[in-house]
Amino acid sequence: MEIIKRPDNMERITTAELAKAFIEEQIGAIRQQVGNKKVLLALSGGVDSSVVAALLIKAIGKQLVCVHVNHGLMRKGESEQVIEVFGKELDANLIYIDATDRFLDLLAGVAEPEKKRKIIGNEFIKVFDEEARKLEGIEFLAQGTIYPDILESDGVKAHHNVGGLPEEMQFELVEPVKLLYKDEVRVVGEALGLPHTMVYRQPFPGPGLGVRCLGAITRDRLHALREADAILREEFDNCGLAEKVWQYFIAVPDMKSVGVRDGKRYEGWPAIIRAVNTTDAMSATIEEIPYAVLHRISDRITAEVDGINRVLYDLTKKPVGTIEWE
């Protein structure tokens, strides 16, 4: 198999002008490749798939079929943003599947992290496959493959991360941003008019909150995690830390401690803040958050989120600690 290489003379996309030139070039290439056929895309709401979706909508409009699967492990407001941006504003051909119950029922009582990941990954493929089979005339599959994916896998991953669809479902791939680095994808996304919050969305694991709701996932603890995480993100936005910190999130373990609310003792879960900076994700340093901000986050989470009575800050670098808890 031929390994895809970025041309040595390819200019780094750093400005809106360069991004617009790239967009025009790709629109031509996509139209030439696809013709009048249909293209299928699994739209997660992440940076890469969102930019590819916006680019394809500009190139071929309703010939693109976007499938967004909500596995119930998204952050607060994320699926709603996908529907708003792509379904309403860009008038995309969008299929939205709320598979929350399906995923959470399968995950009930499963505490082992690797088993959770496998269940989420396998079920996602099943749901996507079921939807793909209902569609007719699809000959292409679009993917948000970017250049680091190819570099990390010696050119193999880009051609084998088709979501694990069954062998008989063979599609030709459309990968318009496969020669771009992440920072270039963001510049292109802004030039396409996508919301800043979507284009600069921080990395989010495929299993979503499934690896941050530690141990066996329960609906009440997952809800508490989602609400606490939304408060953390809101406060980071308010104080200007959102784009200074590479990744920040809440993890909620399956354990309780005693607390006091309304003058009475009660048991609740701890919310653990993780905020790290990294260049390559191989090692990570801890962001120094001002105490005033930590106090505000702690006060809000313990007051507003039912079931959480403590807020902790994880001060562990990588190595020793990985970025995610599971």
CATH number of the domain where residue 152 is located: 3.40.50.620
pLDDT computed for residue 165 by the predictor: 56
Residues pairing with 247 in the sheet: 276
| Backbone φ and ψ of 266, nearest 5° | -155, 160
User: Does residue 76 share a domain with residue 164?
Assistant: yes
pLDDT computed for residue 155 by the predictor: 42
Q: Which of 171, 199, 227 is the last residue of a domain?
A: 199
Q: Which of 146, 167, 199 is the last residue of a domain?
A: 199
Q: What is the pTM of this model?
A: 0.88
pLDDT computed for residue 160 by the predictor: 38
Q: Exposure string (b/e) for 213-233, b if CB count within 10 Å is 16 or more? A: bbbebeeebbebbbbbbbbbb
User: Does residue 292 share a domain with residue 239?
Assistant: yes
CATH number of the domain where residue 222 is located: 3.30.300.10
User: Does residue 124 share a domain with residue 52?
Assistant: yes
User: Does residue 260 share a domain with residue 132?
Assistant: no
User: Does residue 145 share a domain with residue 51?
Assistant: yes
Q: What gap in Å lies between CA 96 and CA 93, rounded to an integer?
A: 10
User: Does residue 128 share a domain with residue 224?
Assistant: no
Q: Is 136 inside a domain boundary?
A: yes
User: Does residue 247 share a domain with residue 153?
Assistant: no
User: Does residue 221 share a domain with residue 171?
Assistant: no
Task: State the 10-residue block means of pLDDT for the chain, 326 residues long.
Answer: 78 96 97 96 94 97 96 96 95 96 98 96 92 91 90 51 55 94 95 94 90 97 98 96 94 96 93 93 92 98 97 96 94
pLDDT computed for residue 242 by the predictor: 92
Q: Is 4 inside a domain boundary?
A: no
Residue 198's nearest CA partner among 95, 117, 39, 90 is: 90
